[in-house]
Chains A and B, each alone.
Chain A
């Protein structure tokens, strides 16, 4: 790294920290402060109502399905994008970014148009007793869609950076494709994967727009944590809204911490 003089280093730090504090620290701090303003008891009550517990469980369920799915798919997509040689790669690149480009509300509406009662597959699905919109599958599909690109987008540059020589070396040493993947590629990209997972988790539990359209917001059934926060806020139950928000923030922080602890040997990655 470039040498910097002491005052320059201090100024840089103050500016960076100040910016973070203003944009991130203060709002989050206020939420936490307001949450615990009157002690832990009211917070506990607010997050242990049947509706809150149901919303919490639903959010975790959705994340538990969407995150592993998008992790596996994301790594596969990144491998195809970086290692593959085929026509139409540019098209695939664009498709991967689509969920970033489209507003979640539009995603929600599109899902309703495809799977809803009057949508393309609606009648067929109804005949077979499958409900997607206003139930768990719809919420999962919406969440998977909006959080699709994170892992792929984090892993692809790492894959490009490490190149394929290590993989070729493993092949000449007798490793099968699967052995090469698990012993060479995966350890080399684990930081990209970990960071992609953190972003995916954050997006999955924080998703609002698409989910609010496909879920139907049935309290105790299809209401996720973010939807609960919105409902309480609209009903002037500010303390309840803050408590639920704090819960969201804590889940996000916990994933972040879990991921940074994933590998203590990161120093040896040159």
Chain B
């Protein structure tokens, strides 16, 4: 288990982490999610010991490691840009931690070969990192981090430098790997889809603070703030509150609680259809201005769209679907 207690981090005048309290359960896969500059990497590096917190404590499995160097923490760290040892072969990269620990040669060889098989790089032992693709390099980096059997595996946007398809493949693969190895894993990402896809716990960060943490479903269904809600998937502002595109109902006549709107665009996305709407009386205003000036987006099924026969310019009515969260808005839902 990883416990972060009241951790602050200052860079000169800049307050990068503000009293972070976080518990990460043993064997879980937790995603640290947040916009750029929210302090995700800083928090991860504090856990790793690559950054010293200004105040607060970091406890790994009951051991206070706040003042321990990264070498003594028993962690595996994977960097966004691989940090491959360029002058070493794939085998030597993976064996590095074991050689430092002076393990017997035979054991090192057996272990590295096994790990390379697990990450799908069997047969690449003699290559140099420059002869691997980005995805392969990152899998090598993962094998290297896992070789020392770390108590915790920390990944800082491990797939950030890869293209969308490889990224989706690797995260599914990471999930499977995690189910096999069960090492407590923390994954930093600014991609909500990635977080929802692989993590069993998500901590959303905002400007150096944890905005909310919990199970992906709870965060999605009961976000504690507009910020969390807008960060976990698309939202539109409808009057006072934020709504998800799926929770909107498009009607051809005025009904209870429905607002008049004009169709701006109809986009066919395979099974679903996205309808972009401009409200007749504007989107309403909010303190943080989230979604204030953008069109309202509704996502409906193909069948519904066909029944409505929508096209740009049509006048329709929209309201939040009954039986979803109701018109309470995210804050009330969390209370």
Contacts and interface: CB of A to CB of B under 8 A. Distances in A.
A and B: bona fide binding partners: yes
Interface of A: 165-166, 168-176, 179, 183-184, 187-188, 265, 268-270
Contacts of B145: 172-173
B79 A268 contact: no
B75 interface: yes
A172 B76 CA distance: 6
30 contacts: A165-B81, A165-B83, A168-B79, A168-B83, A169-B85, A169-B141, A169-B144, A171-B50, A171-B69, A171-B70, A171-B71, A172-B70, A172-B73, A172-B75, A172-B76, A173-B96, A173-B100, A173-B144, A173-B148, A175-B71, A175-B96, A175-B100, A187-B87, A268-B86, A268-B130, A268-B131, A269-B86, A270-B86, A270-B128, A270-B129
Contacts of B144: 169, 173
Contacts of A176: 71
Contacts of B85: 166, 169-170, 184
B231 interface: no
Interface in B131-156: 131, 141, 144-145, 148
Interface of B: 48-50, 69-71, 73, 75-77, 79, 81, 83-87, 96-97, 100-101, 128-131, 141, 144-145, 148
Contacts of A184: 85
The residue in A166, A171, A173, A270 that gathers the most chain B C-beta atoms within 10 A of its C-beta is A173
B96 A170 contact: yes
B79 A169 contact: yes
Which of A169, A170, A175 gathers the greatest number of chain B CB atoms within 10 Å? A169
Given A270-B129, A270-B130, A174 B83 contact: no
B87 A268 contact: yes
Contacts of A269: 86-87, 130
Contacts of B49: 172
A168 B73 CA distance: 13
Q: Which of A170, A176, A179, A187 has the most CB of B within 10 A?
A: A170
B86 A174 contact: no
Given A171-B69, A172-B70, A179 B86 contact: no
A188 B87 contact: yes
B74 to A, nearest CB: 9
B76 A188 contact: no
Given A172-B50, A174-B101, A183-B96, 16 more contacts: A165-B83, A166-B85, A169-B77, A169-B79, A170-B96, A171-B70, A172-B48, A172-B77, A173-B97, A173-B145, A173-B148, A174-B71, A268-B130, A270-B128, A270-B129, A270-B130
A268 B128 contact: yes
A169 B71 contact: no
A166 B83 contact: yes
Contacts of A169: 77, 79, 83, 85, 141, 144
A68 to B, nearest CB: 23
A270 B71 CA distance: 28
B87 A265 contact: yes
A173 B96 CA distance: 7
Contacts of B69: 171
A208 B129 CA distance: 46
Nearest to A188: B87
A224 B211 CA distance: 72
Contacts of A173: 96-97, 100, 144-145, 148
B70 A168 contact: yes
Contacts of B70: 168, 171-172
Contacts of A188: 86-87
A169 B85 CA distance: 9
Contacts of B83: 165-166, 168-169
A224 B101 CA distance: 50
B143 to A, nearest CB: 12
Nearest to A169: B83
A150 to B, nearest CB: 23
B128 A168 contact: no
Nearest to B73: A172
B163 to A, nearest CB: 19
Contacts of B128: 268, 270
